[in-house]
Amino acid sequence: MRILVVGGGGREHALVWQLAKSAEVEKIFCAPGNAGIAALAECVPIDPAEIFKLRDFARGKGIDLTVVGPEAPLVGGIADLFRDADLHIFGPGGSGARLEGSKVWAKAFMKKYGIPSAAYAVFHDAAAAMDYLDEIEYPVVVKADGLAAGKGVVVAADRASAHTAVQQLMVQKIFGQAGAQIVVEECLQGEEISLFVLTDGNTMIMLPSAQDHKAVFEGDRGPNTGGMGAYSPAGILTPKLLSEAKERVFAHVLQGLRAERIEYNGVLYAGCMLTAEGLKVLEFNVRFGDPETQVVMPRLSSPLPPLLMQTARGELAALEPPRWSADAAVCVVMASNGYPGNYETGKEIYGLEKARAEKGVVFHGGTAFKDGKIVSSGGRVLGVTAWGADLRTAQQQAYLLAGTINFEGAYCRRDIGYRAL
Ligand code: AMP
Ligand code: GLY
């Protein structure tokens, strides 16, 4: 099998790493990939946004399966383009990708199909939004409708910060059209948990639970990032909660997609809050989580290619269920100095050669080659991952491994997994 993976972060490295273990995989390409992925796949310099180029590449190279990592090409319709060309692709088409691409659409969908979520209001103009903000109680959450690289959500503690958020989104338009509409919603309290299902629209397969640490500083303080680390399994996910998630969230999503005649072949990620009234959906993503994938992939003990291929082909019902190891896994992100604000890049990374562990792997999130050396090229540079019999062991191993690597200004949280320990 010849596979093309679209994307170039830690999530894609984890997918490529797991795919490369399978004997049936003859060759992997990754667009654009990174310096770590280059050890396992041929990196091709095509940006994930260049969906026509990617289709032509897949055709030209006889690709059997394309796996899309990031959301932007999915929202942009890459999967429709590939399917029209009779190419197998893992990921929903543009209409299904609205679950992530438009928060207004996703909220209406949740309401229509009885999926538990926060109460909300939608605004198309700043003046009406400001009036509303004067009447309500705080905290509230202000969200840009469209994609904003994970930065379009503001949890506003008071009226002043909510006003600022609306000003930035709708008047200054810092995220352009993504802020043309906004959602203002009830602020939910509780613990967050990420749930993933693979689905072809008919059958669903739950993947192991994971939790990420969004805040940049220890103790979950400071500004939100894309994720400073993750662990799997998420200790709080009891069997009862799991069936609640299946029945009250995912089954309703599938029902809704069918009712709307939307085909969906890919992964659906529900970011949920475990509230006093039960599980509520904060957001949907139509792709794998990052760094969550970096702790989920190492726990897969059956081959990945058939799982992704059968999802893409709509034949999940015929698939033997995947097997997962009982090990716990922890991923510690090593980030660039300054992240999530303006950060430094181009720093040489030392110790990668020797950073080896029997039960560990260093996934590259933002790295590149420069003069034959591996340097940082993104905010989240490495995802140092380890696994073991329990979370504590996995955590210790991950930090041991991280301790052998360094680059100037490298920053990692020292407490990944603490909530479950
Ligand atoms: P989203 O992109 O919608 O997941 O939002 C990013 C983050 O904002 C989430 O992971 C939560 O930490 C927080 N958030 C989003 N919606 C809410 C909400 N209704 N109540 C509390 N926190 C929220
Ligand atoms: N770790 C959060 C995300 O992938 O959206």
Rg for the chain (alpha carbons), in Å?
21
Residues 314 and 346 in one domain: no
Residue 338, pLDDT score: 94
CATH number of the domain to which 26 belongs: 3.40.50.20
Q: Would the CA dihedral through 50, 54, 57, 59 be positive or negative?
A: negative
The domain in which residue 40 lies consists of 2-93
Residue 183, pLDDT score: 96
Residues 216 and 273 in one domain: yes
Residues 197 and 306 in one domain: yes
Q: Which atom of ligand 2 is nearest to the CA of 287?
A: 4
Residue 239, pLDDT score: 84
Q: Which ligand is nearest to the CA of 286?
A: 2
Q: Which ligand is nearest to the CA of 147?
A: 1
Residue minimizing CA distance to atom 5 of ligand 2: 289
Of 289, 318, 347, which residue sits at a domain end? 318
Say if residue 251 is exposed, middle or buried (CB neighbours under 10 Å; 0-12, 13-18, 19+): middle
Q: Which atom of ligand 2 is nearest to the CA of 150?
A: 5
Contact 283, 271 (CB under 8 A): yes
Residues 314 and 355 in one domain: no
Concatenating the DSSP letter of every residue in 316-369 gives: GGGSPPP-B-S-EEEEEEEE-TTTTSS----PBPBSTTT--BTTEEEEESSEEE
CA 67 – CA 15 distance, rounded (Å): 9
| Alpha carbon of 212 to ligand 2 centroid (Å) | 8
* Residue 421 domain-assigned (yes or no): no
The residues lining ligand 2, judged by C-beta closer than 6 Å to any ligand atom, are: 212, 226-227, 285, 289-290, 292
* Ligand 1 mutation target, pool 211, 283, 287, most atoms within 8 A of CB: 283
Of 318, 350, 374, which residue sits at a domain end? 318
The residues lining ligand 1, judged by C-beta closer than 6 Å to any ligand atom, are: 118, 141, 143, 153, 155, 185-188, 192, 214, 271, 282-283
Q: Which ligand is nearest to the CA of 188?
A: 1
Per-residue pLDDT of the chain (421 residues; tens, 9 = 90+): 999 999 999 999 999 999 999 999 999 999 999 999 999 999 999 999 999 999 999 999 999 999 999 999 999 999 999 999 999 999 999 999 999 999 999 999 999 999 999 999 999 999 999 999 999 999 999 999 999 887 889 999 999 999 999 999 999 999 999 999 999 999 999 988 889 999 999 999 999 989 999 899 999 898 888 899 999 998 778 888 889 999 999 999 999 999 999 999 999 999 999 999 999 999 999 999 999 999 999 999 999 999 999 999 999 999 999 999 999 999 999 999 999 999 999 999 999 998 888 999 999 999 999 999 999 999 999 999 999 999 999 999 999 999 999 999 999 999 999 888 8
Residue minimizing CA distance to atom 4 of ligand 2: 289
* Residue 266 domain-assigned (yes or no): yes
* Residue 380 domain-assigned (yes or no): yes
Residue minimizing CA distance to atom 3 of ligand 2: 289
Q: Which atom of ligand 2 is nearest to the CA of 291?
A: 1
| Alpha carbon of 281 to ligand 1 centroid (Å) | 9
- Across the strands, what pairs with 414? none
> The whole model's pTM is what?
0.96
Residue 151, pLDDT score: 81
Q: Which atom of ligand 2 is nearest to the CA of 292?
A: 1
* Residue 220 domain-assigned (yes or no): yes
* Residue 411 domain-assigned (yes or no): no
CATH number of the domain to which 366 belongs: 3.90.600.10
Q: Which ligand is nearest to the CA of 283?
A: 1
Ramachandran assignment for 33, one of left (phi > 0), alpha (psi -120 to 50 degrees), beta (any other): left
Q: Which ligand is nearest to the CA of 292?
A: 2
Residues 6+ apart with CB under 8 A from 176: none
Of 300, 318, 336, which residue sits at a domain end? 318
* Ligand 1 mutation target, pool 141, 189, 279, most atoms within 8 A of CB: 141
